[in-house]
């Protein structure tokens, strides 16, 4: 196995981990547990950084040598996996965007309700005024 093949296998492994992570993140979004989501997003970010580092190594090796049979097959597999990760990421972004707009709408409704309720006076401050005024 050449250095290029080894690097491609590591890159593929990183993208598979990212794909699994995106599936897991989708499940966490349905549970609505912010602390779990935040820690998972950090983990996913580190996976993305690692994949980026392996990509740099692969690109450097591709500049030096041209891929042979097994390497070219690994390049195709890596490309397909990258497309899957990209599409999955886009779908998640759409879902997250929908949730953000829903939560924004709910927050606006709560704020409007709070302002409406604050307009009502309880009248508790005026209790006993008539009695005091009479004496």
User: Within a domain: residue 122?
Assistant: no
How many domains does one find in the chain?
1
State the Cα–Cα distance between residues 5 and 15, nearest whole angstrom: 15
Q: What local confidence, expressed as pLDDT, does residue 72 receive?
A: 85
Domain assignment present for residue 79? The answer is: yes
On whether residue 80 sits in a domain, the answer given is yes
The tens digit of pLDDT for each residue in 71-80 reads 888 889 999 9
pLDDT of residue 64: 83
Q: What integer best gives the mean pLDDT of the chain?
A: 81
Question: Tokens 């004496």 label which residue?
Answer: 135
CB 26 within 8 A of CB 92: yes
Given a contact cutoff of 8 angstroms between Cβ atoms, the answer to whether 44 and 74 are in contact is no
Across the range 61-67, mean pLDDT stands at 81
In a domain, 38, yes or no: yes
- Banded model confidence at residue 129, pLDDT cuts 50, 70, 90: low
pTM higher than 0.85: no
Residue 101 located in a structural domain: yes
Structural domain harbouring 32: 3-110
């Amino acid at each position: 196995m050449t250095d290029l093949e080894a690097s491609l296998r590591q890159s593929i492994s990183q993208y598979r981990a990212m794909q699994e992570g995106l599936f897991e993140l989708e499940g966490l979004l349905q549970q609505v547990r912010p602390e779990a989501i935040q820690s998972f997003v950090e983990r996913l970010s580190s996976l993305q950084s690692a994949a980026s580092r392996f990509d740099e190594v692969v690109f450097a090796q591709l500049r030096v040598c041209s891929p042979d049979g097994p390497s070219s097959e690994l390049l195709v597999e890596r490309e397909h996996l990258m497309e899957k990760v990209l599409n999955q990421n886009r779908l998640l972004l759409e879902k997250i965007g929908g949730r953000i707009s829903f939560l924004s709408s709910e927050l606006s409704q709560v704020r409007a309700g709070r302002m409406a309720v604050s307009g009502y006076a309880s009248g508790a401050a005026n209790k006993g005024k008539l009695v005091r005024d009479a004496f």
